[in-house]
Amino acid sequence: MGAKAKKALNKKLKKNSSQLSISRRTNESSDFLPLEGGPGRRISEPEEPVKETATVLYIGHIPHGFYEEQMQGFFQQFGKIKRLRISRNRKTGKSKHYGFLEFENPEVAKVVADEMNNYLLFEHNLQLSLIPPERVHPKLWKGVNRRFKPVDWKAIARKQHNKERTLEEHQRMVKGILKRNEKRDKRIKAAGIDYECPDFVGPIQAAPKKIKFDEEED
């Protein structure tokens, strides 16, 4: 055998030995060897389940008549309720048909969200979903313990209408009324209606005297 042939043989033997050692190391560290041959594979360890920390629930499609007191009595059968709030209209105080519920135990909140979602109640399917702690608004529970008191907008408008005005405020009010009457007359004429609007009586004119009906006639 020539020198070149010996050199090539030695090189091939070294290459085969290095591949065999790598295969042995791989197979030793692997948990699964395929039947058809080839490198082994390790079985990945199962990941630990993520621990649930959300305790706040969003409740949608709340039916009429299912308010704070009824919701408190219904959901406390699952666990202790920490806070409860139904979103209401500021003007009328009526329910907006969605609200928020917070349990003390996150496991209870998870069970309620899974079991009560799409629950049929008073011909409404309740929509429940967990809210992650990082998505809970800091002002979500503002005023939750106070009883809702709607704003009496009629009383505010009545007070605004009946307040005493200065002469300048009276003149400004009369000017606005005359301007609106002028626009109204133009729209009436443009519609082809023959109608004469009565003249506006300003606040400077003296009011008629009130008749007393409680006085007896002679």
Q: What is the pLDDT of residues 181-204, one digit of tens each?
A: 889 888 998 998 888 777 766 554
What is the model's pTM?
0.50
91 in a domain, yes or no?
A: yes
Question: Distances in Å between the alpha carbon of 108 and those of 52, 76, 111, 114, 131?
Answer: 10, 10, 5, 10, 14
* Domain that residue 181 falls in: 164-190
Domain of 95, CATH number, reads 3.30.70.330
Confidence of residue 2 (pLDDT cuts 50, 70, 90): low
111 in a domain, yes or no?
A: yes
As a whole number of angstroms, the distance between CA 94 and CA 148 comes to 10
Residues 170 and 121 in one domain: no
93 in a domain, yes or no?
A: yes
Residues 125 and 60 in one domain: yes
The DSSP symbol for 143 reads T
Could you give the number of structural domains in the chain? 2
User: pLDDT tens, 74-94?
Assistant: 999 999 999 999 998 877 888
184 in a domain, yes or no?
A: yes
Q: Are 110 and 52 in contact (CB under 8 A)?
A: yes
Beta strands in 38-94 (DSSP E): 56-60, 81-88
